[in-house]
Amino acid sequence: MNMTEDLDGSLVDPDGSTDPIDVELVWQTGDPWAVEARFWCGPVPVVWLLGRDLLFDGLAGPIGDGDVRVSPVENSDRVELRLSTPWGHAVIELDNHEVFEFLTCTYDAIPPGEELLRVPIDAELAELMNGSEL
């Protein structure tokens, strides 16, 4: 099962101004720990893999250490994603409620702590072993 949500985001420029950016969040039961974020700033999206729990926890307070940081925007109904690479960084704001609703749907499908019970580990291992029987 896949879940996809299209969001209207804002790319925050260094001077504080914003530009609209289309964002697509994708969650798959085959990797229930992750949310794929696709940022459409041209014909091909820039894709980041975000931890589902990291994204959820960032709705309530700042979290993240390293390349991905998530936090609510002060005095706003928005959440901020700070994405860093050796070549630069981006700050993207999304509607907090829309992200919450998307994540709630993923948690309804596979609740926290039940991810291992739902992932077809044997099939994944067999594929890694070139289809060999376990």
- Better pLDDT: 40 or 1: 40
Closest CA to 70 of 54, 52, 94: 54
Using CB atoms within 10 Å of the CB of residue 72, give its burial: 0 to 12 exposed, 13 to 18 middle, 19+ buried: middle
Q: H/E element holding 52?
A: helix 52-57
User: Which residues have a Cβ under 8 Å from the Cβ of 27 and sit 6 or more positions away?
Assistant: 2, 3, 4, 34, 35, 36, 52, 102, 106
User: Which residues have a Cβ under 8 Å from the Cβ of 97 and sit 6 or more positions away?
Assistant: 77
Q: Report helix, strand or coil for 67.
A: coil
| Every domain of the chain and the residues it spans | 2-128
Q: What is the pLDDT of residues 9-55, one digit of tens each?
A: 999 999 999 999 999 999 999 889 999 999 998 899 999 999 999 99
pTM for this prediction: 0.85
Is the pLDDT reported for residue 125 higher than 80? no
CA distance 40 to 73: 22
pLDDT confidence of residue 115 = 81
Q: What is the pLDDT of residues 86-113, one digit of tens each?
A: 999 999 999 999 999 999 999 999 888 8
- Better pLDDT: 128 or 18: 18
pLDDT confidence of residue 132 = 54
Give the single-character DSSP code of 26: E
Does 2.40.40.20 match the CATH number of domain 2-128? no
pLDDT confidence of residue 41 = 87
pLDDT confidence of residue 119 = 64
pLDDT confidence of residue 109 = 92
CA distance 96 to 114: 25
